[in-house]
Amino acid sequence: MPHLDFSLLLHGQYREWLLSGFLFSVALTGLTLLFALPLSLVVALLRLAPSKLAQALGFAWVEGVRSVPLLVHMLFWYFAAPEALPESIKTWLYAHDIEATASLIALTIYTSAYMAEDIRSGLRAVRGGQLQAALALGLSYLGSMRWVILPQAVRVTVPPLISQTLNLWKNTSIATVIGAAELMYQAQRVETASFRGFETFAVVTAAYLGMSLFITALAQLYQWRYPLRVS
């Protein structure tokens, strides 16, 4: 075994780089969640809507997005998509943090496809009679969802959504390929500068693991605090 020395990484500049990478990854996860949740709800409702066109749209979104690797999404939203924008918007965007923006868009779209499926299955777990009863009482489709189905579906849906958040947290690491300064990006930077690859990736692994375990604990806590109620 080589001699392991973590002190180099836990002080000064290298610690600063790793910490900024960690915070970037956390922020990226949080922001993606913020945008992906409403988007995935819309997609799930499309898939369950009475209209055939809406169903087809929802289906196309989910299958189209999740059939393509996240790496390809990243490269597409960074190198290809912004090129189609008008010159003035493009110039403005490129002068700002296009790396973070592109990775946020790619992750939001990618995550939304998976979360939509979790939400859809949660909604389907509420018995069909409930929707029919709500409609019979004169509520619209959206009204039935808002007042009858969604509140019941939340308890079923939250645990798998937390599990998707865990995937999302790990997926942020792919953003390194488009130069977004997340944890993996900073880790490679530290490794290049310090030649301490073993220690660097040990620290980074611990950071990913720690955050992942925290997210898992949240899921456990939720299930304990809000157990499933059978309607």
Partner 1 sequence: MSFTRRNVATRILALTAAAFGLTLASGAHADQLDDITKKGELVVGVLGTDEPNSFIDPQSREIIGYEVDLARAVAQKLGVKLKIKQLAVAARIPELQQGHVDLLAASLTHNKEREAVIDFSLTTFVTGQKVLVKTSSGIKNVADLNGKKVVTIKGGTQEPNIRKAVPNVDVVTFETGPQAFQALQQGKGVAFVNDEVSLLDQHAKLGAAQAQYTILPQNLSVEPLAIGIKKGETALKKVVDATLRDLEKSGDAEKLFYKWYGPNTKLKFPTRSFKINSDKVEA
# of chain residues touching partner 1 (CB under 8 A): 25
Give kind and range of the element (H or E) at residue 159.
Answer: helix 150-171
Within residues 47-86, the interface with partner 1 by CB under 8 A covers 79, 82-83
- Return the residue of 76, 141, 198, 208 that touches partner 1, per CB under 8 A: 198
| Smallest gap from residue 74 Cβ to partner 1 (A) | 12
Residue among 15 and 155 whose Cβ is closer to partner 1: 15
Quick check: 133 binds partner 1 (CB under 8 A)?
no
- Return the residue of 15, 90, 124, 170 that touches partner 1, per CB under 8 A: 90
Q: Under the phi-then-psi rule, with left for phi > 0, alpha for psi from -120 to 50, and beta for the rest, what region is 138?
A: left
Q: Cβ–Cβ contacts within 10 Å for residue 16, how many?
A: 12
Quick check: 189 binds partner 1 (CB under 8 A)?
yes
Q: Give the span between the Cα atoms of 192 and 34, in whole angstroms.
A: 34
Tell me how far CA of residue 194 lies from CA of 8, 10, 139, 182, 189, in angstroms.
8, 12, 64, 18, 9
**Rg of the chain on CA atoms, in Å:** 21
Q: What track of x and - describes contact with partner 1 for positions 169 through 188 (by CB under 8 A)? A: --------xxx-----x--x
- Return the residue of 6, 94, 214, 226 that touches partner 1, per CB under 8 A: 94
Quick check: 191 binds partner 1 (CB under 8 A)?
yes
- CB-side exposure of 103: number of CA atoms within 13 Å? 25
Q: Give the span between the Cα atoms of 47 and 77, in whole angstroms.
A: 25
Quick check: 160 binds partner 1 (CB under 8 A)?
no
**AA identity, residue 158:** V
Q: Which residues sit at the interface with partner 1, rule CB under 8 A?
A: 1-2, 79, 82-83, 90-91, 94, 98-99, 177-179, 185, 188-189, 191-193, 195, 197-198, 201-202, 205
